[in-house]
Amino acid sequence: MNKQKKLYIETYGCQMNFSDSEIVGSIMKENNYQSTKNSEEADVIFINTCSIRDNAEQRVRKRLGELNALKKQKPHLKIGVLGCMAERLKEKLLEEEKSVDIIVGPDAYRDLPQLMAEAESGQKAINVILSADETYADITPVKIDENKISAFISIMRGCQNFCSYCVVPFTRGKERSRDPETIIQEAKDLFEKGYREITLLGQNVNSYSFEGRENYHFPNLLADVAAVNPLLRVRFATSHPKDISDDLIKTIAAYPNICKAIHLPVQSGSTNMLTKMNRKYTREWYLERISTIKKHMPECAISTDIIAGFCDETEDDHADTLSIMQEVGYDYAFMFKYSERPDTVAAKKFEDNISEEIKSKRLTEIINLQRQLSHHSNKADIGKVFEVLVEGTSKKSKEQLSGRNSQNKVVVFPKENYKVGDYVQVKITDCTTATLVGEAV
Ligand code: SAH
Ligand code: SF4
Ligand code: F3S
């Protein structure tokens, strides 16, 4: 047998990319490539990339520049670009980045062994074919993460919502759902290995629907995964507001081990902007969904994504975003400046006409408001008792453990005799904008 080669994977972008890197690790392992955490000893370096905003691509370009220098000292090193940038730029990346040997799109990872063989023989190799049905359902991912408590399970791929600003439908292809049996089996296996929390992943999990099974939708899958074991926490991301049904809300409420935290990206508080973004809901509709969630689960945390400075956004539109943030009282938010992406409807039809200066000013106002809202939400937890799943020791002190409550907030508390993987009842005594502090009761 040939000597095993060492593979180092560096991942950028969303959780789906992290999950894909585990699938890639598994495919490569079957083909005699051993994963390493040390890039210096690698024979092969894969960069799993993201195209969501221009700065995400710039970060990867910079990294490829560094790898080009490394390759001069280590001529046998092979470099692969995987994921969304590979899919978006295709051959162009081979022309522009001399260090790159292989380009592989998100649906072509099964072809990696052949592509590697071509690359080893000195050729450049590329496969960016998108698929209508690939879900990698039969591949058991190789876990890369250190903490053996929480894991991701990818339940669907692709997106065809075509929000006008978004590159994902172009880089990830058609929406398709994975066979539920393989998802439930993976959850069972992870639980048996000691994992206590899984996050079901997809660009829009609410529209999960497996072709081979009629009348089986996301609420059914969520309930089946929650039934694996009451000690297995279940999370999911991301939900599109247009399809968050009463049925789903009731399912989340019904199972104590389905976490009470919903990530529901609003993008903007202005119906005009939402229409232009092709989000398919209005401000009022979104707020109605939030009140239904809160009616069934008053304790449920709500987080969001917000884009500042989309095309034609007025001061009034921006004020609507600030006011919807207040009205919902988000516990957490990811906030971005609009970044025009080639080929999207927005790039083709609208003008990116909000100046960098105004985008920055609006984003700063959004971030400052969210900081207040997060702090307010944390202060409201002082005195409450939460069940915390311990994930590790606190970054700041070895005497403190760190974990999360069902609402996905980080909680730190004195270690005593508790250990990673335990569920501990913690009473909150203090907080910062980002963390709850407490003690076991
Ligand atoms: N599927 C998820 C989001 C995936 S992308 C959903 O629909 O909610 C994650 C976030 O990136 C989006 O929610 C959006 O807020 C942001 N985003 C996407 N395209 C963007 C762009 N062109 N400029 C700035 N932010 C963008
Ligand atoms: Fe992009 Fe919209 Fe699909 Fe989310 S739902 S990935 S924002 S197109
Ligand atoms: Fe980025 Fe692709 Fe995810 S563009 S956000 S890595 S689906």
Residues 140-187: tens digit of each pLDDT: 888 876 678 999 999 999 999 999 999 999 999 999 999 999 999 999
Nearest-CA neighbor of 354 among 323, 303, 312?
312
* Distance separating alpha carbons of residues 284 and 111, to the nearest angstrom: 47
Q: For residue 206, how far is its CA from the centre of ligand 2 (angstroms)?
A: 13
Phi-psi region of 169 (alpha: psi -120 to 50; beta: other; left: phi over 0): alpha
pLDDT average, residue stretch 91-102: 94
Strand partners, 263: 303
Q: Ligand 1 in contact with 78 (CB < 6 A)?
A: no
| Nearest atom, ligand 3, residue 203 CA | 7
Is residue 2 pLDDT above 70, yes or no?
no
- Read off the pLDDT band of 3 (50, 70, 90): confident
Give, as one character, the DSSP assignment of residue 41.
Answer: G
Q: Ligand 1 in contact with 35 (CB < 6 A)?
A: no
Fold of the domain spanning 150-379: pyruvate-formate lyase- activating enzyme (3.80.30)
Nearest-CA neighbor of 217 among 182, 180, 252, 260?
180
Give the range among 34-43, 341-350, 382-391 with minimum mean pLDDT.
34-43
- Read off the pLDDT band of 212 (50, 70, 90): confident
Q: In the chain, which residues fall in CATH 3.40.50.12160?
A: 5-127
pTM to 2 decimal places:
0.96
- Read off the pLDDT band of 1 (50, 70, 90): low
Q: Which ligand is nearest to the CA of 53?
A: 1
pLDDT digit string, tens, across residues 229-285: 999 999 999 999 999 999 999 999 999 999 999 999 999 999 999 999 999 999 999
DSSP three-state, residue 402:
strand
Q: What is the mean pLDDT of the chain?
A: 96
CB 319 within 8 A of CB 268: no
pLDDT at 146: 65
CATH superfamily placement of domain 5-127: Methylthiotransferase, N-terminal domain (3.40.50.12160)
CATH superfamily placement of domain 385-440: Nucleic acid-binding proteins (2.40.50.140)
Tell me which long-range contacts 208-211 makes (C-beta under 8 A, separation of at least 24).
208/155, 208/156, 208/177, 209/177, 210/177, 210/178, 210/179, 210/180, 211/176, 211/177
Q: For residue 49, how far is its CA from the centre of ligand 3 (angstroms)?
A: 7
Q: Ligand 3 in contact with 183 (CB < 6 A)?
A: no
Q: Ligand 1 in contact with 341 (CB < 6 A)?
A: yes
Nearest-CA neighbor of 24 among 101, 85, 82, 102?
82
Q: In the chain, which residues fall in CATH 3.80.30.20?
A: 150-379
Q: Ligand 2 in contact with 204 (CB < 6 A)?
A: yes
Q: Ligand 1 in contact with 166 (CB < 6 A)?
A: yes
* Distance separating alpha carbons of residues 197 and 192, to the nearest angstrom: 12
- Read off the pLDDT band of 332 (50, 70, 90): very high
